[in-house]
Amino acid sequence: AQKVTQAQTEISVVEKEDVTLDCVYETRDTTYYLFWYKQPPSGELVFLIRRNSFDEQNEISGRYSWNFQKSTSSFNFTITASQVVDSAVYFCALSDPMDTGRRALTFGSGTRLQVQP
Amino acid sequence: NAGVTQTPKFRVLKTGQSMTLLCAQDMNHEYMYWYRQDPGMGLRLIHYSVGEGTTAKGEVPDGYNVSRLKKQNFLLGLESAAPSQTSVYFCASSQDSRNQPQHFGDGTRLSIL
């Protein structure tokens, strides 16, 4: 079964705190791709990162970092020194299995992050 | 550099009315998608297209129809709107590769009374 679970529905932190958003996935594919998207209050979806299943190096981009662990089927997202502008809903997504031919994404239910000043 | 453009941005319909949502992309992408976003459920795939003239059903296709007559456009139709179709609709497009991110439009907020 293809599934993405974001167990944290809502997280509230105070500015400058570090916060980690969890993502656990299930797939039958041996090669797959994972994505994170940000949805700010304005509503659009902004692509943050793509990770392929055969590259387990963690990635850092400024205050953002991603920890991919194939052994636990997790792809967690950490924001260091959070800022009010980080307040948004964050979605983790998984590529469709190869044999479907769809190239669509399976999304988690999202985690709403609120950063208080 | 428009990317993916959705029209309209907001719409209120009465039950039983019909309407068409338009999605246009200027990136020459082969793949296009329609998703709906409901509270607490993430985005769910309604229909998709792997190229001009082709369409296929996603996870929640009932009550919707689509057409892809031109490569750059993907239309989503509601023939007889129902309150259960109240949602935010997103169109997306991507290149022909599993590892490419999907590019999303800004969404259409649709309310069915």
Q: Do B98 and A98 touch (CB under 8 A)?
A: yes
The mean-pLDDT minimum among A78-82, A91-95, A96-100, B37-41 falls in: A96-100
For chain A, the residues whose C-beta falls within 8 A of a C-beta of chain B are: 4, 6, 9, 32-33, 35, 37, 43-45, 47, 50, 52, 91, 95-96, 98, 101-105, 107-110
Identify whether the C-beta of residue A15 lies closer than 8 Å to the C-beta of residue A84.
yes
Say if the Cβ atoms of B101 and A109 lie within 8 Å: no
The pLDDT of residue B10 is: 96
C-alpha A12/C-alpha A74 separation (Å) is 22
Query: Is the Cβ pair B43, A91 closer than 8 Å?
Result: yes
Residue at token pair 């993502």 = A23
Residues of B in contact with A40 (CB under 8 A): none
How far is the first Cα of chain B from the last one, in angstroms, to the nearest whole number? 36
> Residues B44, B105: contact at Cβ < 8 Å?
no
Q: Which residue has the tokens 């259960």?
A: B84
Residues composing chain B: 113
Contact A104 B99 (CB under 8 A): no
- B100 pLDDT band, cuts 50/70/90, is confident
Distance CA B105, CA B94 (A): 12
**Closest residue on chain A to B30 (Cα):** A103
- The 10s digit of each residue's pLDDT in A33-76 is 999 999 999 999 999 999 988 887 788 889 999 999 999 999 99
pLDDT for residue B1: 61
Task: Reply yes or no on whether the pLDDT at A1 is more than 80.
Answer: no
CB contact under 8 A, B43 and A107: yes
Task: Give pLDDT, residue A93.
Answer: 96
Tell me which of B9, B99, B110 to substitute to probe the interface with A (most A C-beta atoms closer than 10 Å): B99
Between A and B, how many residue pairs show a Cβ–Cβ distance under 8 A?
62
Contact A47 B43 (CB under 8 A): no
Q: What is the DSSP string of chain B?
A: ---EEEE-SEEEE-TT--EEEEEEESS--SEEEEEEE-TTS-EEEEEEESSTT--EE-SS-TTEEEE-SSTTEEEEEESS--GGG-EEEEEEEE-SSTTSPPEE---EEEEE-
Buried-state track B63-90, b at ≥16 Cβ within 10 A, e below 16: ebebebeebbbbbbebeebeeebbbbbb
B61 at A interface, C-beta within 8 A: no
* CB-based contact, B42 to chain A, within 8 Å: yes
Q: Is the pLDDT of residue B97 over 80?
A: no
The pLDDT score that the predictor gives to residue B41 is 83
Bridge partners (DSSP) of residue A42 are none
Cβ contact A108:A4 at 8 Å: yes
pLDDT at B62: 96
- Nearest Cα neighbor of A74 from A54, A92, A95, A96 is A92
CA–CA distance, B15 with A7 (Å, rounded to integer): 35
Find, in chain B, the residue whose alpha carbon is nearest to that of A103: B98
Write the burial class of residue A43 (CB in 10 Å: 0-12 exposed, 13-18 middle, 19+ buried): middle
The answer to whether the CB atoms of B107 and A108 lie below 8 A apart is no
Cα gap B62→B47, rounded to integer Å:
10
Give the pLDDT band (50/70/90) at residue B22.
Answer: very high
